[in-house]
Amino acid sequence: MKKVSRIWSLAFLLLALTALLFGCGGGSKGSESTGGGDSSDGDGKKKLVVGTDATYAPMEYMDNNGNIVGIDIDIVEAIAEEAGFDVEFKNIGWEPLFPAVENGEVDFAVSSITITEERQETYDFSEPYYIANQVILVKKGSDIKSFQDLKDKKTSLQINTTGHTMLKEIQGKTSSKIIASETMPLAIEELLNGNAEAAVGDNSTVNEYIKNNPNVEVEIVEDDSAEKEYYGLMVKKGNSEVVNLLNDGIKKIKENGKLKEITGFDVE
């Protein structure tokens, strides 16, 4: 009898140990986790689901095979490699991206998102990993030379972006001359078809448009009054677990030169 009960307690101990081991391997499932993709796949690494608006070449866009690619994607993959987690990208779109982070549908968002004080009230951000600024796209020969020149001009931009905020400051919140499009390509379309006299967006993407469309009669207006903007990865407020993981990866790719290799410049 004694022997039997010892076997049983040994079996029980083994079972408890296995449970403990597996429990740890799957990544923490505490109440803090957003749940989006907080699971591990075959390699035992934690997998995070990353939301994006893949309409913003060269930062995040769809290639011809339907894959989500771009500079931001490469950066997140490098961060994940250094910090030891796996990623799965989801093309969510710009406006739905914000609630998706809030409700845990995704663990974080990468989308050329500028860290702003206003957004920091609702979301947490990683350390900055990229610098950009707003520029103006106009048809060649336009008399628009600065942001102030946009005061009474029909101007298109992507809705709820920092460019949108800037135009509201210049024209007034309720201006009817602001054309807020769902995506940046659609905002540029408004300029090309004559609905708008200017389009405003991040230099990262507007430069790429010019590069890819040398035959379109448009040019960029740079205005030094445009403030530097810092891109960050956006996380649900209070999810310090993911923020720390991302910052750990960002620190490492800043230190080992990988970030500069991807973007071509240093971010202080």
Closest approach of ligand ARG to the CB of residue 113, in Å: 5
Q: Interface with ligand ARG includes 263 (CB under 6 A)?
A: no
Which CB, 112 or 171, lies closer to ligand ARG? 112
Residue 162 interacting with ligand ARG (CB under 6 A)? yes
How many residues appear in the chain? 268
Site for ligand ARG contains 188 (CB under 6 A) = no
Question: Of these, 105, 202, 208, 241, which contacts ligand ARG (CB under 6 A)?
Answer: 202
Residue 54 CB-half CA count within 13 A: 16
The answer to whether 54 and 68 are in contact (CB under 8 A) is: yes
Q: What is the DSSP letter of 228?
A: P
Give the x/- contact pattern for ligand ARG in 42-71, rule: CB under 6 A: -----------x-xx---x-----------
Report whether 9 contacts 78 (CB < 8 A).
no
In the complex with ligand ARG, the residue whose CB is nearer, 82 or 95, is 95
Q: Please name which of 133, 130, 134 lies closest in space to residue 266, comparing C-alpha atoms.
A: 130
The answer to whether 158 contacts ligand ARG (rule: CB under 6 A) is yes
Return the number of the residue (34 or 158) whose C-beta is nearest ligand ARG.
158
Q: For ligand ARG, give the closer residue by CB, 197 or 202.
A: 202
* CA-wise closest residue to 153 among 141, 136, 134: 136
Nearest to 92 by CA among 51, 35, 37: 51
One-letter amino acid of 142: S
Which pair of tokens denotes residue 214? 């040398």
Q: How many residues belong to the site for ligand ARG (CB under 6 A)?
A: 15
- State the minimum distance, in angstroms, from the CB of residue 229 to ligand ARG: 6
Q: How far is the CB of 51 from ligand ARG (least distance, A)?
A: 10
Radius of gyration of the chain (CA): 23
Told to check if 156 binds ligand ARG by CB under 6 A, we report no
Is 190 near ligand ARG (CB under 6 A)? no
User: CA-to-CA distance for 33 and 107, rounded, in angstroms?
Assistant: 8
Nearby residues of 262 by Cβ (< 8 Å), 6 or more positions away? 71, 74, 75, 78
Q: How many CA atoms lie within 13 A of 60 on its CB side?
A: 24
Choose, by CB under 6 A, the member of 94, 98, 108, 230 that binds ligand ARG: 94
Site string for ligand ARG, 105-144 (x = CB under 6 A): ------xxxx------------------------------
Residues that bind ligand ARG (CB under 6 A): 53, 55-56, 60, 94, 111-114, 158, 161-162, 184, 202, 229
